[in-house]
Chain A
Amino acid sequence: MSNAQAPVSRQSLMDMFVAGARRGWNVATNNMVPNVIMAFVLIQALNVTGLLEIVGKAFGPVMALWGLPGEAAAALIASFLSMGGGVGVTASLYTAGKLSGPDVTVLMPAIFLMGALLQFMGRCLGTAGVDSRHYPVIIGVCIANALLSMWVMRLILILF
């Protein structure tokens, strides 16, 4: 209603954009670039040692449940540790030709739904003061969320 009470700041649209873009630059340089490099080095190391192939074979039957190659398991495991790591591993697997566009699409919500749980147990549940008795169940639900979301994404892909 009245502009005086609205949360609209006095900044111009351009100022707002630039402030956000600056935050984006900081996230990209401090967070994304190091995470992507970490993931590329990890995948390179796994590739050179032949471990990636083993991971791919070992997880192949499980990931096939979602129509994904076994290597996709590496993306999910990485995302459990950090969202940026999950995104990085997914990106490097894509560029290595191990994951297709639809595969990335299927993985996308899962990377975040089970993302960085190790860290967020303390940062989110701990800070909010959630009873730690419930942690295992909550973590289980987060992982179930991620696994189920991959099937939903597969279904949605049929529409596109």
Chain B
Amino acid sequence: MKQDKPAAKQQVSWVGYAALFFALIFFSGIFSDAENWTRVLDFTVLQGSFGIIGETGKAIFRGTGGTGARDGFMFALSLMPSVILALGVVSVIEGLGGLVAAERLLSPFLRPLLGVPGVSGLALIASFQSTDAGAGMTKALYEAGDLTDEERTVFGAFQVSGAAPITNYFSSGAGLFQFLSVPIIIPFVVMLVFKVLGANVIRLYIKTVAKKKAVA
């Protein structure tokens, strides 16, 4: 944990908070139907659309009625721009300090929300991007004495359900964005809420069932 401590004290400039705010707007779809220039603030607008082939007025290069591996390949090709754009934008937000800003905003709520100390904020944000980084940092927190074994179990349960949500949702998940009938960010928020709920079920379980077993 030693090498992580200085990072935890980094200053967050207003740019970081602005980037985080932008990210929420960008994936929220608030501006997707705007009629003026503010449309530029929306993922689906910047994603644009494929051109139409021929005069059918419908089919893009994928064609219609395909099946099997060939259709899967053409379909996957049509999803690639979403994945590339989503991760490009996530990278800009990360580079501007948006994730550090999120960590700063979340830290005070970790104790009430998950029962883990605020110092776990960095591991939490890391776990949003990489399952392995989050798990590794959690182990380090335990070894440094910042987390008890029980807190580690709750924190681990939080991480494993919907693991690495930023990376997985905005890469693999981006392939499904175009079929969603709600703004992109809504399933993501539902996911985060359930991550917290699930972790609290485990928190309760540890406090009651697991403790009793240990005593008996």
Contacts and interface: CB of A to CB of B under 8 A. Distances in A.
Interface of A: 1-3, 5-9, 11, 13, 16-21, 23-25, 27-29, 31-33, 35-41, 44, 47, 83-84, 87-88, 90-92, 94-95, 101-102, 104-105, 108-109, 111-117, 120-121, 123-131, 133-134, 137-138, 141-142, 144-146, 148-149, 152-153, 156-157, 160
Contacts of A109: 162, 187-188, 190-191, 194
B87 A23 contact: yes
Contacts of A25: 80, 84
B187 A8 contact: no
B216 interface: no
Contact of B187 (A38, A105, A131, A144): A105
Contacts of B153: 130-131, 134, 138
- Which of the four size classes fits the interface of chain B? 35 or more
Contacts of A146: 194
Contact of B86 (A24, A104, A114, A157): A24
A148 B72 contact: no
Given A113-B161, A127-B132, A156 B87 contact: no
A8 B97 contact: yes
Contacts, number: 273
Among all A-B residue pairs, the 10 with the closest Cβ atoms? A20-B91, A40-B72, A24-B87, A127-B135, A24-B84, A21-B88, A16-B95, A108-B187, A130-B156, A36-B76
B161 A17 contact: no
A20 B75 contact: no
A9 B159 CA distance: 28
Interface class of chain A by DSSP: helix
Q: Is the interface of B mostly helix, strand, loop or mixed?
A: helix
Contacts of A144: 198, 201
Given A91-B175, A115-B168, A145 B160 contact: no
B186 interface: yes
Contacts of B44: none
